[in-house]
């Protein structure tokens, strides 16, 4: 949230500077306040939406600053939601026109900027287009926040976002005060809109991720459990290799689009990777039936910063996996095979529904056996074994520094983080995957 605080703060300061430069006005203070509230809410709305459109391009140069592409996606999502929220505020301020007319009258209104000829016609068009654009944006925002709305139709509707954004950008450029373009507020706004238009055009042309996307081939499909499918693929030509713990965007069905799946295998230079996919929706439930060896598949990546190479080897390691969140740790353990001396001291906690029937338990034991520094702890919910912060840290002294690497359900992550906070473990870092498609 500090990132958004900086963005909103910069926009607010630029707007505030422009207000200070305004000449004295004879208009009524309430009419002036309404106008500036419209400008500020509109500035925030188009600024955050521009940011959302740019982040949708998956800019690799920002992965380090954000801590991974999963967090860039999260920032993209919340920038869009916040931009839509400011759009609602902008619309409400616009609707306050009638309230002011009925309370203080028309006298003292702020004079409108006059524009003649083509510019005047374009400003009228921008006003009309902006109104419809805001209605469409609010409808899409409502559908996005309605978690029960099916993913596939949501994804189809979401494709309209670049067009809606371009309409609103046109509205903003034409209706922003002309004085803005000679002030910092206009420079900031122009930069954001240029970045947003760049993102919108790439989305419409379908070139996002093109440089890291290629055609691979499915080599094998297995189903180790009723709700798990293992897919082995030959990577595309030009694949740059991956670090243990990274993910790729995989398109098995063009109609369904790309989905992020963690790569469950280490990179051994044999041009193959493996995914372990849990049935969490209609698409993933159908994969065991739909996928066959020899099928073509689009693979884009790798992305992500949940990497074995980023752990701090100077502090105690606590690795926590919940359900299918075990996949990055499978890649980590796979990469450590044959290098026991290079393996860090770590406690790996795996949380599962039923430890007696989970196929990952046997695999984890086999991978940990030649790595004596990695201690495996399995917690089965049906066996009454639930993980909490005290259990994670039971082998660590109160003063010992450490870090937790977590991949699993959000609820478990929140429980562990709160538990660490309650225990006063301020020297305990917490690293977590944060990838959500909506």
The SS3 call for residue 301 is: strand
What is the model's pLDDT at position 17? 95
What is the model's pLDDT at position 125? 86
The SS3 call for residue 209 is: coil
What is the model's pLDDT at position 42? 95
Residue pair 333/364 in contact (Cβ under 8 Å)? The answer is yes
Residue pair 300/257 in contact (Cβ under 8 Å)? The answer is no
- How far CA 364 is from CA of 10, 42, 327, 330, in Å, comes to 48, 53, 10, 7
In the chain the domains, ranked by start, together with CATH numbers, are 2-205 (1.20.120), 212-303 (2.40.30.10), 308-432 (3.40.50.80)
pTM (predicted TM-score): 0.89
Determine if residue 220 is left, alpha or beta; phi over 0 gives left, psi from -120 to 50 gives alpha, anything else beta.
Answer: beta
**Residue 30, exposed/middle/buried by CB under 10 A (0-12, 13-18, 19+)?**
middle
What is the model's pLDDT at position 150? 81
What is the model's pLDDT at position 399? 67
Can you read off the two tokens belonging to residue 63? 């992965």
CB count within 10 Å of CB 50 equals 27
What is the model's pLDDT at position 373? 94
| Residue 353 neighbours by CB under 8 Å, 6+ apart | 323, 380, 381, 382
Can you read off the two tokens belonging to residue 237? 């030509």
pLDDT digits (tens, 9 = 90+) for 275-293: 999 988 878 889 999 999 9
Show the low-confidence residues of the chain (pLDDT under 50).
none
- What single-letter DSSP state applies at residue 233? E
Residue pair 225/359 in contact (Cβ under 8 Å)? The answer is yes
Order the strands of the 374-380 sheet from edge to edge: 374-380, 346-352, 316-322, 402-407, 428-432
What is the model's pLDDT at position 437? 56
Can you read off the two tokens belonging to residue 75? 């920032």
- What is the spatial distance between Cα 297 and Cα 274, in angstroms, rounded to a whole number? 13
How far out from the chain centre does Cα 342 lie?
A: 33
What is the model's pLDDT at position 221? 96
- How far CA 400 is from CA of 180, 298, 320, 367, 432, in Å, comes to 54, 45, 18, 27, 21
Q: What DSSP letter does each residue of 167-200 carry, written as one string? A: HHHHHHHHHS-GGGGGSHHHHHHHHHHHHHHHHH
């Amino acid at each position: 949230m500090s990132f958004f605080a900086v963005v909103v703060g910069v926009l607010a300061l630029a707007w505030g500077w422009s207000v200070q430069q305004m000449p004295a006005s004879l208009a009524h203070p309430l009419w002036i306040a309404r106008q500036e509230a419209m400008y500020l809410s509109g500035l925030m709305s188009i600024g955050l939406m521009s940011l959302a459109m740019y982040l949708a391009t998956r800019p690799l140069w920002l992965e380090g600053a954000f801590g991974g592409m999963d967090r860039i996606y999260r920032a993209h999502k919340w920038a869009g939601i916040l931009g839509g929220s400011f759009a609602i505020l902008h619309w409400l301020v616009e609707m306050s026109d009638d309230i002011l007319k009925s309370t203080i009258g028309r006298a003292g209104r702020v004079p409108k900027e006059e524009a003649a000829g083509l510019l005047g016609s374009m400003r009228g068009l921008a006003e009309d287009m902006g109104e419809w654009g805001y209605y469409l944006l609010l409808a899409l925002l409502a559908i996005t926040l309605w978690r029960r709305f099916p993913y596939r139709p949501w994804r189809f509707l979401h494709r309209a976002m670049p067009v809606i954004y371009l309409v609103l950008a046109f509205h903003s450029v034409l209706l922003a005060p002309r004085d803005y373009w000679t002030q910092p507020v206009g420079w900031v706004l122009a930069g954001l809109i240029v970045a947003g238009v760049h993102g919108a055009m790439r989305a419409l042309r379908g070139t996002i991720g093109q440089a890291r996307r290629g055609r691979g081939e499915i080599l094998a499909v297995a189903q180790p459990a009723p709700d798990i499918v293992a897919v082995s693929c030959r990577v595309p030509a030009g694949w740059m290799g991956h670090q243990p713990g990274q993910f790729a965007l995989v398109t098995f069905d063009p109609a369904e689009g790309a989905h992020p799946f963690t790569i469950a295998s280490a990179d051994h230079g044999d041009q193959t990777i493996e995914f372990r996919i849990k049935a969490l929706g209609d698409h993933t439930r159908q994969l065991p039936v739909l996928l066959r060896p020899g099928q073509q598949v689009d693979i884009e990546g790798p992305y992500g910063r949940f990497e074995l190479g980023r752990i701090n080897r100077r502090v105690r390691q606590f690795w926590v996996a919940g359900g299918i969140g075990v996949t990055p740790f499978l890649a980590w353990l796979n990469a450590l095979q044959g290098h026991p001396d290079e393996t860090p001291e770590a406690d790996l906690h795996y949380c599962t529904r039923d430890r007696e029937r989970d196929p990952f338990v046997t695999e984890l034991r086999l991978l940990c056996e030649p790595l004596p520094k990695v201690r495996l702890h399995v917690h089965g919910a049906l066996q009454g074994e639930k993980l909490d912060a005290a259990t994670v840290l039971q082998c660590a002294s109160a003063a010992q520094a450490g870090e937790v690497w977590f991949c699993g359900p959000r609820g478990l992550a929140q429980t562990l983080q709160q538990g660490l906070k309650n225990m006063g473990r301020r020297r305990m870092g917490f690293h977590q995957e944060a990838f959500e498609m909506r």
